[in-house]
Structure 1
Amino acid sequence: MNRRRRIYEGKAKVLYEGPEPGTLIQHFKDDATAFNAKKHAVIDGKGVLNNRISEFIFQALNEIGVPTHFIKRLNMREQLIRSVEIIPLEVVVRNVAAGSIATRLGLEEGTPLPRSIIEFYYKNDELNDPMVSEEHISAFGWASPQELDEMMMLAMRINDFLTGMFLAAGIKLVDFKIEMGRLWDNDMSRVILADEISPDSCRLWDAKSKDKLDKDRFRRDMGGLIEAYTEVARRLGIVTENEQSAGSGPRLVQ
């Protein structure tokens, strides 16, 4: 990888020049961050798990016709992806009150929302990713009205699919964050799913006990992050039973 040109490095991933035009290699790091990187740690094995979980989800979405940047997994930490122009918005879909919406609206965490809610946040670390309205997005040209419609339609379709997939594994999908990008073909573009979907970007609770199986374990100093992510992978059939040995990291199904 040292011979490849680094295109971008974020909090949890690095993008490298891909082997063919229009492709990139997405490398998953072990870094864990919260509160816009004000809290940071390196947790051995996290990148491996997120790579594999995200691969599993993106493959499933590709199969049902949701357009994504994912092409294939290359190894335990890397994926081959399509190069897209990232739309500078985080799209958050909420099914249950948790995190910032519970704080903002004075809701008890765990309260089911009247319906699934889509929120948009402007991607800008210096501004702490402020929440924005459709009016802001349209006025500042971050996305066109047509693109916004496409983004919301894709977000709800992804939510419907993930809710059922996780529920079948005994997991409640509380909320999740996704990013989307423009895939260009000459002068035409379409909106597709980009980035990742993993326990880093979802709130996942055990459907019965409500135990947290996501990055809130890091945000809230609960510990057991790798164990929680491994449990998610196990329930999805990515990690087989009793295959994690001390100090060796999770063993993943190829």
Structure 2
Amino acid sequence: MTQPNVVTVTFSEPNKGEVIIEGKTKIVHAIVGDPGHVMVLNKDRITAGDGAKAHELKGKAAISNDTNAKVFTFLQQAGIKTSFVQSCGETSYKSRRCDMIPLEWVTRRVATGSFLRRHTGVTEGYRFTPPKMETFYKDDENHDPQWSEEQILEARMNVGGIIIGRNEYDIMARTTVTVFEVLERAWAALDCALIDMKIEFGIDTETKEILVSDTIDSDSWRLWPSGDKRLMKDKQVYRNLEKVTEEGLNQVKRNFQWVADKLESFIPTPRGLVVVLMGSPSDATHCEKIRDHCRKLGVPCELRVTSAHKGTTETLSIIAQYEGMAIPIVFIAVAGRSNGLGPVTCANTCCPVINCPPLKPEEAARDVWSSLSLPSGMGCGTVLYPEAAAQSAAAILALSDHVIWAKIRAKQLNLWTSLKLADQKMCKSN
């Protein structure tokens, strides 16, 4: 049942080639003999105001690299597609080579900062539900102007041979909000409010997939511990320095290190458990499918054999054993014909119970009623497929586990994206 925290493994630095592009805070190098990847080298430099304000901050590169690796590792473990591959040095990381889309995608939960300047009359602290999404065209000389959905579509940007049209916009928009929501819940579990954040996308030069790309570090978001703006730990502290002193820069660095340290706890040891109770070992194949689907969602799952009809005392003993663990438990009852296992379990526990009877098609219409028609005072649900049972159990545990919630949210995104791409392919073939 144990699961490690976010662990970022550092590999040896690859043989870096020519500089592809150099920005204010990082340099992107080609990798000799590996055209599909690049090496991103962070700088000990902090900037604000499109580079108008800039200072050297020794140690920032290592902190940014550490932060970025932990965030992208978390997103990838959830199932979100990104360009990040691995850390390859204290201040560098390896990434899929992408043609970058010149847009910043910003998601806001709370109105603050530039939003208030652009929308006079909105009170700071106004909460956006659902989150507010904005897009900005990357152009330092013109201070990254805000672009509307219509402007992006009309621009018909050609990035790596891909025209940014309706499908590409929709995929990036939906992914942007998903990234924000999974990180928001993870930070909330650490009593820290994610106020807003920005991300960028790239087109993989080989696969032509749209990937969450660039760097996500303390330059990318606003973080308010306990939801208190006075405790902010993000780059806004640097922006607010009227006179930049060594002590002021050290405070910014301490804040950034605080964020990197907190990210160690993004993936806690899971506390929840799904217990599949099968009435007969002949149902093992059905139950193993449930366990497999649970594992895909990061949900620990155990299988037990017990019969409520033939061994009622033993069934109650097993239920009591798991209740005594004092962790969130979901029971899934697998019993065909006359299903006494689910109702008996439900009547003797306060834990959620899901029926998933292994029904044969020719007997389903008759046997399913023993799972559906319950005495008063009971409320176990019934599903017919192993994947549905695992998904239902995971959703219950996700109420108190942000890691499971993130996997479910990413799964929804990937299913939606696959349908979007399938429709696009079908339209082209018409």
Q: Distance in 2 between matches of 1:17 and 1:198?
A: 22
Q: TM-score, normalised by structure 1?
A: 0.88
Partner of 1:10: 23
SS at match of 2:27: strand
The letter for the 2-side match of 1:216 is: Q
Partner of 2:222: 203
Partner of 2:182: 161
Partner of 1:124: 139
Partner of 2:255: 228
Question: What's the offset of the Cα at 1:98?
Answer: 1.4
More displaced stretch, 11-20 vs 30-39: 11-20
1:108 aligned to 2:123? yes
1:191 aligned to 2:204? no
1:81 aligned to 2:115? no
Q: Which has the higher contact order (CA 8 A, sep 6+)?
A: 1
Runs of 4+ in 1 over 6 A off after TM superposition: none
Q: Deviations over 1:164-193 (max 9, x none)?
A: 1111122110000110011144xx622110
SS at match of 1:52: helix
1:3-42 correspondence to structure 2 within 5 Å = 4-19=17-32, 20-42=34-56
1:138 aligned to 2:156? no
Q: Distance in 2 between matches of 1:3 and 1:23?
A: 10
Q: TM-score, normalised by structure 2?
A: 0.53
Q: Deviations over 1:29-68 (max 9, x none)?
A: 1111111001111111111111111100101111111111
SS at match of 2:219: coil
Q: Distance in 1 between matches of 2:210 and 2:226?
A: 32
Q: Distance in 2 between matches of 1:147 and 1:75?
A: 33
Q: Deviations over 1:62-113 (max 9, x none)?
A: 1111111100001110000000111111100111111111121133333322
Q: Deviations over 1:122-154 (max 9, x none)?
A: 111111110001111111113211100000111
The letter for the 1-side match of 2:223 is: L
Q: Unmatched 5+ residue regions in structure 1?
A: 239-254
Q: Distance in 2 between matches of 1:134 and 1:50?
A: 31
Question: What's the offset of the Cα at 1:3?
Answer: 6.5
Does structure 2 conserve the Cα–Cα contact (< 8 Å) formed by 1:204 and 1:214? yes
Which structure features the higher share of helix residues? 2
1:54 aligned to 2:68? yes
SS at match of 2:80: coil
SS at match of 1:200: coil
Percent of aligned positions with the same letter in both sequences?
31
SS at match of 1:74: strand
Question: What's the offset of the Cα at 1:208?
Answer: 4.7
Q: Distance in 2 between matches of 1:127 and 1:104?
A: 16
The letter for the 2-side match of 1:163 is: E
Q: Deviations over 1:179-232 (max 9, x none)?
A: 0011144xx622110011111111111125431110001111173111111111
SS at match of 2:194: strand
Q: Distance in 1 between matches of 2:127 and 2:234?
A: 18
Does structure 1 conserve the Cα–Cα contact (< 8 Å) formed by 2:71 and 2:263? no
1:216 aligned to 2:231? no
SS at match of 2:20: strand
Partner of 1:90: 104
Does structure 2 conserve the Cα–Cα contact (< 8 Å) formed by 1:18 and 1:80? no
Does structure 2 conserve the Cα–Cα contact (< 8 Å) formed by 1:97 and 1:113? yes
Q: Distance in 2 between matches of 1:200 and 1:21?
A: 28
Q: Distance in 2 between matches of 1:47 and 1:8?
A: 17
Q: Distance in 2 between matches of 1:135 and 1:208?
A: 34
The total of aligned residue pairs comes to: 236
RMSD: 1.7
Change (3 A) 1:125 1:208: closer
The letter for the 2-side match of 1:16 is: H
